[in-house]
Amino acid sequence: QKEVEQNSGPLSVPEGAIASLNCTYSDRGSQSFFWYRQYSGKSPELIMFIYSNGDKEDGRFTAQLNKASQYVSLLIRDSQPSDSATYLCARGGGGGSEKLVFGKGTKLTVNP
Amino acid sequence: KAGVTQTPRYLIKTRGQQVTLSCSPISGHRSVSWYQQTPGQGLQFLFEYFSETQRNKGNFPGRFSGRQFSNSRSEMNVSTLELGDSALYLCASSSFDIMETQYFGPGTRLLVL
């Protein structure tokens, strides 16, 4: 079982819709989770991090963490064509390590 | 603050050669991690340095090595290049102010012919 799994997509939504991106992880000891956005040909850009169960909102983005079910999700409200990118879910390495373990990413396309 | 910088941005090498990539972290960040990104394997962790010490290493052969200098700048070296080493190599720096939050540089795109 891969450590971090994402629905591979691609995911296509119309402009203005809510995009829902999901991620599951296998290590129950994981404490921190991150969402990165990567445009084609660019490096990953941090969107949000979440440590606690529940929701965390930042503008149009909401991260949700459920440690009991071992899943993390990212909701993008009022999706814009500029949100079209690959979204990477990652978990922290824990134990003082800065290592991140990434999923393979979900490609999102927002259609005008 | 200036972001993470990486040099060179693009590199073409032939099999058997070696390559050295450089990374300068965000000012004040003491932890530097390196990742390899390929279409097939995604983002994979190579190694992590903090205060000139390697703290963690991914599952890569010994041809991949790195080091960190006293000013937190880091280099990674790949010896005896193979075709499969063609990838985007990303450096990320982090500060312990926000645990494990890493900021990536623009990457070095390596093509091995």
Q: Collect all residues with Cβ–Cβ distance below 8 Å to A70 and sequence separation of at least 6.
A: A24, A25, A26, A28
Given an 8 Å threshold on Cβ–Cβ distance, is B107 in contact with A43?
yes
Q: Which of B106, B89, B108, B110 shows the shortest CA–CA distance to B18? A: B110
Distance CA B89, CA A31 (A): 26
Categorise residue A9: left if φ over 0, alpha if ψ from -120 to 50, beta otherwise: left
Cβ contacts of B44 on chain A, cutoff 8 Å: 102
Query: Is-contact A44 A90, C-beta < 8 A?
Result: no
- CB-nearest partner of A99 from B42, B56, B101: B56
Query: What 8-state DSSP symbol labels residue A95?
Result: T
Q: Is the dihedral of CA B81, B52, B107, A34 positive or negative?
A: positive
Instruction: Check residue A78 and give its pLDDT.
Output: 97
Average pLDDT over residues A67-90: 96
Percentage of chain A lying above the pLDDT 90 cut: 78
| A9 and chain B in contact, CB less than 8 A | no
| pLDDT of B2 | 81
Per-residue pLDDT tens for B61-79?
999 999 999 999 999 999 9
B77-101 pLDDT, tens digit per residue, is 999 999 999 999 999 998 765 566 8
Rounded-to-integer distance, Cα B25 and Cα B5, Å: 7
Both tokens of B39, joined, read: 């279409």
What value does the mean pLDDT take over residues A5-30? 90
A93: contact with B, CB 8 A cutoff: yes
- Residue of chain B whose alpha carbon sits nearest to that of A8: B42
Quick one: pLDDT at residue A34? 94
Cα of A85 to nearest chain B Cα, Å:
15
- pLDDT band of residue B46 (cuts 50, 70, 90) is very high
Quick check: A50 contacting B, CB < 8 Å? no
Contacts of B107 in chain A (CB under 8 A): 43
Q: Residue A27: its pLDDT value, please?
A: 83
